[in-house]
Structure 1
Amino acid sequence: MPHPSQHPSDALRLDDPEAFADPQALWDRLLERYPGGLAPVFLSEGVPAWLMLTLEVHQRVLQDPETFARDVDHWRDFHNGVIPETSPLRSIYTKRRNVWNVDGPDHRHYRDIVVRALSNISQTRITTHIDEVIDRVIDTFCTEGRADLVTRYASVVPLLVLCRLYGMDANEGVAVCSAQRRVWDGAEDALHAHAQLQRRMTALAEPRRASPGADLVSELVAAGLDDEEIRDHLTFITAAAHEPTAHTIAHALWLLLGRKGERVQLHSGRTVHEAVNASVWHSPPMHTLIGRFATRDVEVGGYTVAAGDCLVMGFGPAQQLLRRDERLDTETNRSYMVFGLGPHSCPSTGRDLGLALAEKAVQLLDRRLPDMVLVDEQWQGVAEGRLSGVESLRVEFTPTDRIYEGAPWQLSASQSTPKTPTETRPRTPSMRLGQWLRWFWPR
């Protein structure tokens, strides 16, 4: 088997947005060039990795955790100087104490805790949180007669629901939403905003130890996790649930709104269910994600992957192949690649919550604003950072009254939180932090 000493100079760069202008054409080229299902790529300049292209290769890798580990300690280039000290990869892939970053007994222990914690929260309580958050977010723009459903709706609803599940009140949730947006946008103070988010997650544990509630943090406290473990798990759950759900909501709305000036009518929720299903199948929320590190030399997809090599999950190309399989009914099948395979796959409790949230977000919006029409369609097949989605969905509708009395939530960064004091802003540039987080971290 070939074991190249270095990747070919023309290998795909995963940090090159222009290469992903037409993702379907890109996957076709890679699948033709690398029929074994594994492609040499670069994460950034001089940082090699392998991109998995087919379901078969994903099954081979993701179902063998002893050979292909999640623990970053196995990533050779993370420790030998190939990845520069200034690289955002170092911040993103710092070793963390959560279910995503460990293997073996530690992973099984954490997974059992997370699944039990999610299951212990009343379904009625979860539904109440979802309904209230959705209606309150709609209240922020329903009287205006027009809105961008990406920036003012799809991108904020999942995060605010998560904050409610963590036991945060409305003000705390809005503050977190604003800080997270600054991180994603690569704002001047993105690194500082990220540090603020970490401190907020850590601070949630102490009051729950004194006075437990009916929330996810209290469940993690009851399971015996310390403050650092709780912070790392909340950070991961936010990453895994927020951005993919936001993109699913946006893409489902885009499908249902139709072309400019037209829209598809929703009937008894069935069309919504189909639209959400089609969104995940035809435009997966993540196309690529750094995923595993080889613990020994092993043959995969026509190559010898060396111990310490990094492998990247390729949900985009693998799912594109699955859609072409005539034996698979993609209209009703919910075995999406993006939820993973093997021990580290997303548990059904988390998967079902995300899909249910996406469906409810579309249903309630249609109920509140039944005459929405798309007035300025902007669609990009893959958003910056390998997350497929809609860039904007500008709609017009008949203004309607708010449901909740009092002032609506202020969700814009400028209104919901004060500007970061100049003296606390990081001195190093952070414009690319959000970009890198989107490329290589499931947020």
Structure 2
Amino acid sequence: MTPEPFSPTDTDEPLTAPPPGCPAHGIGPGGLRRLYGPGTEDLRPVYEKLRAEHGPVAPALLHDDLPIWVVLGHSENMQMVRTASHYSRDLRLWTPLRQGMVKPENPLMPHLAWQPICSHTEGDEHLRLRGAVTGAMSTIDHRGIRRYINRATQHLVNKFCEEGRADLVGQFAEYLPMAVMCEILGMPEEYNDQIVQAARDMLKGSETAIASNAYIMDVLMRLTVRRRAAPQDDFTSHLINHPARLTDDEVGQHLRVVLIAAYEATANLLANVLRVVLTDPRFRAQLNGGQMTVPEAVEQSLWDEPPFSTILGYFAKQDTELGGQHIRKGDGLLFGIAPGNVDPRVRPDLTANMQGNRSHLAFGGGSHECPGQDIGRAIADVGVDALLTRLPDVELACDEDELQWRSSISNQHLVALPVEFAPKPQQDVMERLTISPVPPQRSNDWQIGTAQTHLPPQQPAAAEPTGAMPAAPPVATPEPVRRPNVFRRLLRWWSGD
């Protein structure tokens, strides 16, 4: 791709080029803005500058000054992901790759390298591979997974509940999704600090990203060999035994995509939702007689801080036009999730509540829409609600403006979320929730339930043992009588009994 040179000032005056090798102000060859390097740690201002200069589709540069189009508009992103006749995710179409411009040591190589996976194919091959993944997904016991999320949350909280302080990113959000995904894939024995850190590292685009990717693949290929020889009732076994007859290499590569995409997306989602819960008055206070529930906080976060900022990438199968720009055959395009979610044509007021609106770009769209989004939502919903039930008095232990993020082209990751609370005793992770005909009202500190429905509040976490902070007493004002047997059935269904 060779976009036409442009003037950032929208004039015909020649550009003053920075010295060779200098990333001055993020401007690279041809006057194109770089999406990396000093000065571009937070790419949101860069995206807004690109939007102001070029509109909904803008030219920019990736690592090693590889040219790319950044799709910034909401409708343009949806048009791209839904128009399979014009845009493909097959990296082999990309002109810079065909011309040998992509170096093997490029830190984005784990994202850029073509793999035999459904997200890099189209047509019949895409249907075959995607069908195997969605088929294996359909075998997941969602009620059982919600129970496991609850138990895993209790286990993680037990590690810090007696301290009265914790970092909910480094001690919770970065661990819960990996524990759940290792269980789903059928390798709970592989869940440890090393696999968590490897997953984190390979997504940073660091110098050790390629080595971390190799470690992850070794774990997954060993799992593939074990399940090929001795299938069990887990995602990996069902993927192997699907009628699509995936090869070991195809199985391993799809396990990598499922593991890493689900882990990173959900780790970021958990951290972002917890930050909203701790800082957003819409969650902690009633709004117009209603309340913001955990699921509503999740959807708001998917709009404001999507787990993935962008996705690499889509590639033009023919000359076409998008957002007023001429896109040449072989050009690469960046799926702009974060900039698309704040497109002023869709969200003129970014402070407006997006309650009930799921048209965000967080899970993609078209034939490559994320097939595991319900698992991600479940981890965030159950995990956050269970943690708040255990620690109802949790508070942010620093000023909100002291929070820091680590940014890359693919996401913006909250570095730490320090909190404090009254020390709590550990709990038996297998303890079941006590069934009560009328649920106790939560304290006003946390608005987790919903006032707009008659469903019981989400309470997947185990009941507090003796010595823990007691729940607030039931409301004294009269309320409609509920049939105990109906309530018990609803609560048992929610808890997975």
TM-score by shorter chain over 0.5? yes
Separation in 1, partners of 2:355, 2:38? 30
Q: Which runs of 5+ in 1 are unaligned?
A: 406-443
Map Cα deviations across residues 268-319 of structure 1 (whole Å, 9 max, x no partner): 9952122111111111222222221112222222222111111101112211
8 Å Cα contact 1:294/1:307 also seen in 2: yes
Match for residue 107 of structure 2?
Answer: 88
Match for residue 398 of structure 1?
Answer: 422
Match for residue 413 of structure 1?
Answer: none
Pairing partner for 1:357 from 375, 379, 403: 379
The alpha carbon displacement at 1:389 in A equals: 4.2
Alpha carbons of 1:86 and 1:171: their partners in 2 closer, same or farther (altered >3 Å)?
A: closer
Letter in 2 for 1:332: G
Name the Cα RMSD after superposition. Answer: 3.1
8 Å Cα contact 1:164/1:173 also seen in 2: no
Pairing partner for 1:298 from 309, 320, 344: 320
The alpha carbon displacement at 1:382 in A equals: 6.9
The alpha carbon displacement at 1:85 in A equals: 3.7
The alpha carbon displacement at 1:71 in A equals: 0.9
Letter in 2 for 1:352: D
Separation in 2, partners of 1:234, 1:251? 25
Secondary structure of 1:316's partner? helix
Letter in 2 for 1:230: V
Aligned length: 399
Alpha carbons of 1:392 and 1:179: their partners in 2 closer, same or farther (altered >3 Å)?
A: same
Alpha carbons of 1:306 and 1:357: their partners in 2 closer, same or farther (altered >3 Å)?
A: same
Pairing partner for 1:383 from 384, 402, 407: 407
Pairing partner for 1:287 from 306, 309, 333: 309
Pairing partner for 1:61 from 65, 69, 80: 80
The alpha carbon displacement at 1:29 in A equals: 2.6
Pairing partner for 1:273 from 282, 285, 295: 295
Pairing partner for 1:76 from 77, 83, 95: 95
8 Å Cα contact 2:136/2:235 also seen in 1: yes
The answer as to 2:253 corresponding to 1:228 is no
Separation in 2, partners of 1:75, 1:302? 21
The answer as to 2:28 corresponding to 1:11 is no
The alpha carbon displacement at 1:21 in A equals: 3.2
Letter in 2 for 1:4: E
Match for residue 445 of structure 2?
Answer: none
Alpha carbons of 1:266 and 1:103: their partners in 2 closer, same or farther (altered >3 Å)?
A: farther
Deviates more, 1:305-314 or 1:123-132: 123-132
Match for residue 53 of structure 2?
Answer: 33
The answer as to 2:258 corresponding to 1:258 is no
Secondary structure of 2:357's partner? coil
Map Cα deviations across residues 49-74 of structure 1 (whole Å, 9 max, x no partner): 10001122223321222321111110
Secondary structure of 2:295's partner? helix
8 Å Cα contact 1:298/1:306 also seen in 2: yes
Alpha carbons of 1:85 and 1:180: their partners in 2 closer, same or farther (altered >3 Å)?
A: closer
Separation in 2, partners of 1:44, 1:351? 29
8 Å Cα contact 1:78/1:90 also seen in 2: no
Separation in 2, partners of 1:22, 1:100? 25
The answer as to 2:116 corresponding to 1:97 is yes
The alpha carbon displacement at 1:266 in A equals: 10
Map Cα deviations across residues 73-107 of structure 1 (whole Å, 9 max, x no partner): 10111121222343234443222111111111111
Separation in 2, partners of 1:200, 1:306? 40
Letter in 1 for 2:4: P
8 Å Cα contact 1:27/1:316 also seen in 2: no
Match for residue 50 of structure 1?
Answer: 69
Pairing partner for 2:139 from 102, 120, 136: 120
Query: For the pair shown, which has the larger CA radius of gyration, 1 or 2?
Result: 2
Letter in 2 for 1:218: S
Match for residue 216 of structure 2?
Answer: 197
Letter in 2 for 1:57: E
Separation in 2, partners of 1:64, 1:119? 26
Letter in 1 for 2:247: D
Separation in 1, partners of 2:324, 2:182? 45
Separation in 1, partners of 2:185, 2:105? 33
Deviates more, 1:284-293 or 1:153-162: 284-293
The higher-RCO structure (CA 8 Å, 6+ apart) is 1
Separation in 2, partners of 1:382, 1:403? 34
TM-score (norm 1): 0.81
User: Which structure has greater helix proportion?
Assistant: 1
Secondary structure of 1:346's partner? coil
Alpha carbons of 1:50 and 1:183: their partners in 2 closer, same or farther (altered >3 Å)?
A: closer
Map Cα deviations across residues 174-203 of structure 1 (whole Å, 9 max, x no partner): 542243245456788554332121011011
Secondary structure of 1:51's partner? strand
Letter in 1 for 2:313: G
Secondary structure of 1:153's partner? helix
The alpha carbon displacement at 1:48 in A equals: 0.5
Alpha carbons of 1:201 and 1:269: their partners in 2 closer, same or farther (altered >3 Å)?
A: farther
8 Å Cα contact 1:241/1:354 also seen in 2: yes
Secondary structure of 2:69's partner? strand
Secondary structure of 2:415's partner? strand
